[in-house]
Structure 1
Amino acid sequence: MRILPVATAAALLLGACGGGDDDATTDDADEGGGEGEGGSEGGDGASEALTEITVGVLPIVDVAPIYLGVEQGFFEEQGLDVELVTGQGGAALIPAVISGENEFGFSNFTSQVNAVSQDLPLLSVSPGVFTTGEQGDDAAGVVALPEANIERAADLEGLTIATNTLANNFVMTISHAVEEDGGDPDLIEWVEIPWPEMPAAVANGQVDAGVVVEPFVTFAEDEGAEVVLWHWVETDPNFLVAGYFTTEQYQADNPETVEAFVAALDESRTYADENPDEVRRITGTYTEIDEDVLNRMHLPRFGGEFVIEELQWQADLANDFGITNGAVDVAEMLFNE
């Protein structure tokens, strides 16, 4: 694999899917206070204080369910007062949880596996977002101009492909797809370009192709590109893209809080899948995505469960392509209620 450095401006938006080691900044999200300082009525009619938790999230559609869950009161019903703080990279939110700055965080699963491979005491507690499993309708893909004549995964061999960070599930899944199609992924030249700059980089020929998430898939299509590979779908129609995590110590000390958090997330993710218009609406409250793009962009699937066999295969694949620092036993990093 050849990796060419490209000098670019700082990313305006980095997603959960990308992983990497971006510097994180945190700001209180508009919805961050949850349902506030009040209490919930206990079974004996007494007012019970809510447990305050801070969750590190990203300014992307992937975390719409937790914003909706706070708005709908699902977390308050579980006795939780949720503060949402936004960071600029999924992998960068991991140190905030490890240090105890946040109780929970959101990151791509590959970055979580990589953290565990480095002996960090991270515990994955809940899925967050999956591929839709549908060709032509997913929340991420490889985009290129029609004149690139990319008709199948193997055609990416020997091309220059932009990704937001190099150590992420994009490199892993695209390399796998190329290899499965008979190509040589070692001949791909990977370059780092922030997502906001990638549609233009593809359109002006700076790179042959770029791998982007929404809303940048839609932005790229608006600039004349087309999706030439739905890499998550090709890898696994049930591919877990990202999810929520805490630390082993926090779970050991606060098992009821973790169970409540997972239960509220389950309800939130189901609600999001059943109400796509609400997903688009709420995403517009914590991002700067134009309403027209919000209405046209592909949405991911939020509902689903941890499937150990599929996640172990994903972790092994990350190790095979050098994304992680050694093999990981996924069963040991998953929360069991």
Structure 2
Amino acid sequence: MTLRKFQPFVAVLVAVTLTAIIAGCGSTDSTEKASPASNGEGNTNSKLEKIRYAPLSGVSGLAVSFGAEKGFFEEEGLDVEFITTTDPIAGLTSRDIDVVDVATTTAIVAAGKGAPVKIVSSMFRTKGPFYLIASPDIKNVEDLKGKKVGIAVFGSGLEIYTRVILKEHGLNPEDVTFIANSTHQAAFASLETGQVDATIIHEPFASLAEKEGKGNIIATGWDYLPTFHTGVLAAREVFWKISRKR
């Protein structure tokens, strides 16, 4: 699937998932604060369900922006208020946000610590679009022995992808130096400037690396963990329960 075709697909998937979360109509639990789907604040169209959604920003949020521009959310009966946040879990627990895009590990850890968080969907269809790219002089995974490898954030799903790829090629964690180099533009810049010799990364940066001669794709994540999802849609647990009752 090309990037151009993938973008509208993801936008529709998100719209349908949000619709499923708040599907149906009916009264809310009197012990819960009025949810945005029922309080009517800012909703000029009574036929649309109001929802406060914090998608990923930057490149990862392009599909959602595309969907909003094309009216996909309205077609699914949603009046979406898009919110920008640097702490999606805090937004859910404070009830300022209803649904967020968030790293799988972040959502699981938060729920394990008692946060009222419910994972409702993967952000991807069947696999995460992640690649292990390396500087031009590195042609395969085995060449990474003794090198610096970017894993985004320690403890993240992207680190898991990287570790599994290395293991499948006979490399142990001590054979490389892991670097927390963030994601997207920051991760790509770390490869360009030589801070790392390889990095796990999203599109379009994998394709850009090859097109501009700045790197090689040496592994694709889904070949190693085809059913592992590094990103999910998560909702406030009470919001989810109320919506399920409608």
Superposed CA RMSD in Å reads: 2.8
How far apart are residue 244 of structure 1 and its match? 1.0
- Partner residue of 1:165? 153
**Helix, strand or coil for the counterpart of 1:54?**
strand
Rate the CA distance shift 1:157–1:113 in 2: closer, same or farther, 3 A.
farther
CA contact 1:157–1:185 (8 Å) conserved in 2: no
User: Which letter does structure 2 place at the counterpart of 1:162?
Assistant: G
Deviations 1:284-328 (A, max 9, x none): xxxxxxxxxxxxxxxxxxxxxxxxxxxxxxxxxxxxxxxxxxxxx
Secondary structure of 1:249's counterpart equals helix
CA distance in 1, matches of 2:99, 2:215: 37
**Structure 2, unpaired ranges of 5+:** 1-41
Q: Distance in 2 between matches of 1:167 and 1:159?
A: 20
Letter in 1 for 2:173: P
More divergent stretch after superposition (67-76 vs 50-59):
67-76
1:62-86 CA deviation, whole Å, 9 max, x = no partner? 4445444444544335543101123
**How many Å apart are 1:201 and its aligned residue?**
3.1
Please state if 1:199 is matched with 2:188: yes
Structure 1 residue 185 corresponds to structure 2 residue 173: yes
Greater shift, 77-86 or 59-68, is seen at 59-68
TM-score (norm 2): 0.69
* Further displaced range: 59-68 or 200-209: 59-68
Q: Give every structure 1 segment of 4 or more consecutive aligned residues whose post-TM-superposition deviation is greater than 6 Å.
A: none
1-side partners of 2:147 and 2:197: how far apart? 6
Q: Specify whether residues 145 and 97 from structure 1 end up closer, same or farther in structure 2 by C-alpha distance, changes over 3 A only.
A: same
Encode CA deviations 1:147-191: one digit per residue, 9 max, x unaligned: 234x23x54343211233222111111112222333212433112
Q: What CA distance in whole angstroms lies between the structure 2 residues aligned with 1:240 and 1:207?
A: 24
Q: Please, which of 204, 209, 227 is the counterpart of residue 217 of structure 2?
A: 227
Letter paired with 1:113 = I
**Counterparts of 1:75 and 1:85, CA distance in 2:** 15
Distance in 1 separating the partners of 2:125 and 2:144: 24
Match of 2:53 in 1: 55
Tell me the residue number matched to 1:324. none
Aligned residues: 203
CA distance in structure 1 between the aligned counterparts of 2:47 and 2:108, rounded to whole angstroms: 35
Letter paired with 1:115: A
User: What's the counterpart of residue 122 of structure 1?
Assistant: 117
- Pairing 1:240-251 to 2, within 5 Å after superposition: 240-251=229-240
Quick one: distance in 2 between partners of 1:156 and 1:117? 35
In the TM superposition, what whole-angstrom CA distance separates every residue of 1:189-220 from its partner, at most 9, and x where no partner exists? 11222442433432343322122212332343
Pairing 1:204-283 to 2, within 5 Å after superposition? 204-221=193-210, 222-230=212-220, 232-255=221-244
Cα deviation code 1:85-118 (max 9, x no counterpart) = 2335xxx212211221101101122322222232
**Structure 2 SS opposite 1:254:** helix
Q: Which residue of 2 aligns with 1:107?
A: 102
* TM-score (normalised: structure 1): 0.52
